[in-house]
Amino acid sequence: MSNETPPPGDRIAKVLSRAGIASRREAERMIEDGRVSVNGKTITSPALNVTADDRIVVDGKQVGEPEPPRIWLYHKPAGLVTTERDEKDRPTVFASLPETMPRVMSVGRLDLNSEGLLLLTNDGEVKRKLELPSTGWLRRYRVRINGSVSEAKLDELREGITVEGIQYQPMVVTFDRQQGANAWLTVSLREGKNREIRRAMGEIGVTVNRLIRVSYGPFQLAALKQGEVEELKQRVVRDQLGISGKPTPKRVRKPVNRPTRGKKRSS
């Protein structure tokens, strides 16, 4: 067993994440690409602890003290990808946000064709905490499928289903109504694997043609319009991150976003 005292401070990737520069994993890639320097020296390994006395520069810009954690609720329209840069040059969520917003990260993702509630934060540690399965927050979706489906088939989802070797946890599924050639379901789950609902529905023989996330834990889409963003009050953010109780969040209304300005957002 080593008796060496660990160096003071925190790992550089954690500090960059906390400052809202990037997620920990993205920060590690930035370091490996030689985009980060500490006290005037470029680093290429994330195995470094830093303190408040160290001068950190990313892409030529000095990293300041982290702001208090902030969380926004965003109503993502279909047709936007939840990445900052897209290899296919498709429009992104981040390019659609108001210019007055700081640099933010998404808590999880919604795929290109999915819509609804997307949480955004300026703090990489908040992002990590809210994405952890151990957080246990229920994600609820309104799902429109082509055709109809029997209760016996829905029971397969309720019991947990395996698709192409991937085991999905049991879902809470309610059949809401038939609407012409389509049917509406409400689906709730506590983890969000990639395209989980679409793949699970395909396994029981139906196709999803609309998917709307209406809540993420205690946070509700409610009457938030497509493209609109609202910031939670600081007191609510502190309550949600600091204690186990989950009071009903109060929201601060922000103006509706302008149309997407382009496919890339400048830093």
Report the catalytic residues: 111
Tokens of residue 57, six digits: 């520069």
Q: With 0-12 CB in 10 A as exposed, 13-18 as middle and 19+ as buried, what is 110?
A: buried
- Sign of torsion over alpha carbons 254, 230, 22, 114: negative
DSSP per-residue letters across 158-206? HH-EEETTEEEPP-EEEEEEEETTEEEEEEEES---TTHHHHHHHHTT-
CB atoms within 10 A of CB 30: 19
Residues 79 and 93: their CA atoms lie apart, in Å, by 9
Q: At what angle do helices 24-32 and 124-131 cross, to 10 degrees?
A: 130
Residues 252 and 250: their CA atoms lie apart, in Å, by 7
74 and 118 in contact (C-beta within 8 Å)? yes
